[in-house]
A and B are shown apart, each in its own frame.
Chain A
């Protein structure tokens, strides 16, 4: 290790690879700039662009609306985090119910299957309306009547069914030999699930799971239809003042700004933990 010096040939190869890497970077930069310029010129030269810019991209108006929209976004974040925790719990419960074997669990399996079938198929907006307007209209005593709670409940009900299916796919992707190995060590069905199957299943489904949570982040904006002042509703109220749609764009940018770090974080964690397959090399 210590007395090794790269040969002239190897040095030349390293230099060549470096040159090629530099060239690739240069090409990437040039092609990106060219594309951006083309898009900017293309859109900027359309006849309606000044009008569109004034309506959607009014910097001054956006800056004005930012604090109010951001305040609404804080509600979105709280709704999303609370719902995410509940969704993981319910989704996992449903997934485990569906994978239980044995005749005694038949009703649970049927319930879980029917639940996912129904809530995966129902449009989220309909569930929000049903819970947000329908349940309070029953005028039952003791039930909360804040719109945000019913909106959140609708999100939990719908997303639990998506997440349950993701978890189930993960559980079923763990090779049966893993269960056999665990059972052969004397672990019970529960212990096998808890210590061997679920840890592997959860790792495997992490990317699609996060996909669902990013989607949840956006869909938390749908509870605006119940009159809850979230980022979207706040933008709507702002827009109603002067028919300038910039506040919506501001809300959109804030949602994107929330999503991107979450995605990068998962990618980073997943790569560091080696969740994405094995191998490597220049294949």
Chain B
């Protein structure tokens, strides 16, 4: 059974149908990369999985539990899912360490010393051990994003959602973040990623899903979707992307 399963997910904003009966399965330990033009529904999909949006129809199941059921405790579901945003969304009034220990202490009831020790361990892993007491605005974009990933990881989530995590970064800082994601993947973390980094998709993804008009138009291994797409829409999108980024 897959860890995350979306069936017929629909999301509408007014007249605009963003997700139109979306089906997708993500197995435990799998990394699925969502690609598609802006407005194709990638971010909305992640927000629906994290229950930041209420779906208008369909089911999202996480580990066999229907999390779109209005009876489930959304906070509890979210606490088992890590999400990293394009613009980091670190809390500017807290130090990097306090950003990371906030949820373990307040949500998961971890003792302060334990939380600190785990946060420091996590910072060590993302290469920011010396920045624990710094405030987010003292860090570079890449460092902030790594801190945000550490913040999401420290709760040992079942699933990580990554929403354009490198889009706000300078090109020379993209590498450090992608390296970290590769490492997470190799440790068996389940990831659902929206990105414009085709190189990353090719390198890390188990499967790539091309979204078009709120549906998964083409899903398959990167070698197939990115290098030998069956659909004309996919080819068109890929040629536009490679034309603009030179990849």
A residues in contact (CB < 8 Å) with B:
1, 4, 6-7, 9-10, 13, 16-17, 20, 281-283
The contact sample of 26 A-B pairs, CB cut-off 8 A, is A1-B15, A4-B10, A4-B17, A4-B57, A6-B56, A6-B57, A7-B8, A7-B57, A9-B57, A9-B59, A10-B57, A13-B68, A13-B69, A13-B70, A16-B70, A16-B71, A17-B70, A20-B70, A281-B47, A281-B52, A281-B53, A282-B51, A282-B52, A282-B53, A282-B54, A283-B52
A210 to B: closest C-beta gap in Å: 27
Q: Which residues of chain A are near B71, meaning CB under 8 Å? A: 16
Q: Which residues of chain B are near A6, meaning CB under 8 Å? A: 56-57
Q: Which residues of chain B are near A281, meaning CB under 8 Å? A: 47, 52-53
B residues in contact (CB < 8 Å) with A:
8, 10, 15, 17, 20, 47, 51-54, 56-59, 68-71, 74
The answer to whether B17 touches A1 (Cβ under 8 A) is yes
Q: Which residues of chain B are near A283, meaning CB under 8 Å? A: 52
CA–CA, A16 and B68, complex, Å: 12
A254 to B: closest C-beta gap in Å: 43
CA–CA, A108 and B71, complex, Å: 61
**B54 (CB) vs chain A CBs: closest residue:** A282
B169 to A: closest C-beta gap in Å: 18
Q: Which residues of chain B are near A10, meaning CB under 8 Å? A: 56-58
20 A-B pairs besides A7-B57, A10-B56, A281-B53 with CB distance below 8 A are A1-B17, A4-B10, A4-B20, A4-B57, A6-B57, A7-B58, A9-B57, A9-B59, A10-B58, A13-B69, A13-B70, A16-B71, A17-B70, A20-B70, A281-B47, A281-B52, A282-B51, A282-B52, A282-B53, A283-B52
CA–CA, A243 and B59, complex, Å: 70
**B12 (CB) vs chain A CBs: closest residue:** A1
A159 to B: closest C-beta gap in Å: 31
CA–CA, A6 and B57, complex, Å: 7
A154 to B: closest C-beta gap in Å: 39
The answer to whether B69 touches A282 (Cβ under 8 A) is no
**A16 (CB) vs chain B CBs: closest residue:** B70
Q: Which residues of chain B are near A4, meaning CB under 8 Å? A: 10, 17, 20, 57
CA–CA, A20 and B20, complex, Å: 27
Q: Which residues of chain B are near A16, meaning CB under 8 Å? A: 70-71
Q: Which residues of chain B are near A13, meaning CB under 8 Å? A: 68-70
A3 to B: closest C-beta gap in Å: 11
CA–CA, A16 and B17, complex, Å: 24
CA–CA, A6 and B8, complex, Å: 11
Closest 6 CB pairs of A and B: A10-B57, A281-B52, A16-B70, A7-B57, A17-B70, A13-B70
CA–CA, A16 and B51, complex, Å: 17
CA–CA, A4 and B58, complex, Å: 12
CA–CA, A4 and B17, complex, Å: 11
A169 to B: closest C-beta gap in Å: 17
CA–CA, A7 and B58, complex, Å: 8
CA–CA, A20 and B71, complex, Å: 10
Q: Choose among B8, B58, B59, B74 the residue that contacts A282 (Cβ–Cβ < 8 A).
A: B74
CA–CA, A20 and B58, complex, Å: 20
CA–CA, A16 and B66, complex, Å: 15
A1 to B: closest C-beta gap in Å: 6
CA–CA, A276 and B69, complex, Å: 30
Q: Which residues of chain A are near B59, meaning CB under 8 Å? A: 9
B246 to A: closest C-beta gap in Å: 29
CA–CA, A184 and B71, complex, Å: 53
Q: Which residues of chain B are near A20, meaning CB under 8 Å? A: 70
CA–CA, A35 and B54, complex, Å: 34
Q: Which residues of chain B are near A9, meaning CB under 8 Å? A: 57, 59
**B66 (CB) vs chain A CBs: closest residue:** A9
